[in-house]
Amino acid sequence: PTTEHLEQLTEEEPVAIFFDEIETWWESFDKSENEELLERNEFFLQHLFEVANDPQEDLFAFATLLDKSQDIKRIVNRTNPYAVDMNDTGDREQIILHRLFETRQDDVDEKAVRDIVSEYVDHYNYPIEIDEPKRYENRMVVTYPFHPELLDLLDDVYDAGRERQSVRGVMNVLADTVRRKYNETDLF
């Protein structure tokens, strides 16, 4: 579709288009076999992002990027879009806990968690020194059942990766661990 076609979409009401992991779709095309299709899709995306960038239009385009396709980055960045690096939001721990567990954080017995964490921290001794014990304890409560040092270590490991799928990578490791521990534990 041309920019005119896309502008017509928003004449009656606002339109939002979401692309989740757009590079996965883009890289599914074989450049040698699908050259014409890739070119048409590139023009479509350019037109879409141009219209979405126009403040007079009610078109909103949201795309999640895995940071692995320079072609998509070039297309998306043509219009200098507003971008948020979800790896830098500071909410990674909450995102991971929310995605891994059905129990909402509000439904967790914070006093019971705090008691467990407090007892755990009380057993720290030399050479382990905690600069700000209360702050550290509070972070352990927030990240429970995972130790914050484990989350930091996994963040470092996955942040160093070329594709920067840190939240997803950390989540996969933790999900596998929780699943394995659940299957190995006799609850009765």
Q: What is the pLDDT of residues 177-186, one digit of tens each?
A: 989 988 998 8
How many domains is the chain partitioned into structurally? 2
| Mean pLDDT confidence for 42-46 | 94
Which pLDDT value is given to residue 41?
93
Comparing 45 with 64, the larger pLDDT belongs to 45
Please say if the pLDDT value at position 164 is more than 60: no
Domain span at residue 70 reads: 3-83
State the pLDDT confidence band at 53, using cuts at 50, 70 and 90: very high
Which pLDDT value is given to residue 60?
94
63 and 108 share one domain: no
59 and 113 share one domain: no
State the pLDDT confidence band at 166, using cuts at 50, 70 and 90: low
Q: How many CB atoms lie within 10 A of CB 35?
A: 11
Cα-based distances in Å from 132 to 67, 121, 138, 145: 36, 12, 10, 20
| Mean pLDDT confidence for 52-60 | 93
92 and 173 share one domain: yes
Whether the full predicted model's pTM is greater than 0.75, yes or no, is no
127 and 164 share one domain: yes
Residues belonging to the chain: 188
User: Considering the chain, what percentage of its residues have pLDDT values greater than 70?
Assistant: 90
13 and 52 share one domain: yes
64-119 tens-digit pLDDT = 887 778 888 899 899 988 887 766 656 778 878 888 887 767 788 889 999 999 88
Cα-based distances in Å from 151 to 36, 147, 156, 160, 174: 44, 7, 9, 14, 9
CA distance from start to end of the chain: 60
113 and 177 share one domain: yes
1-30 tens-digit pLDDT = 889 999 999 999 999 999 988 888 888 888
Which pLDDT value is given to residue 161?
63
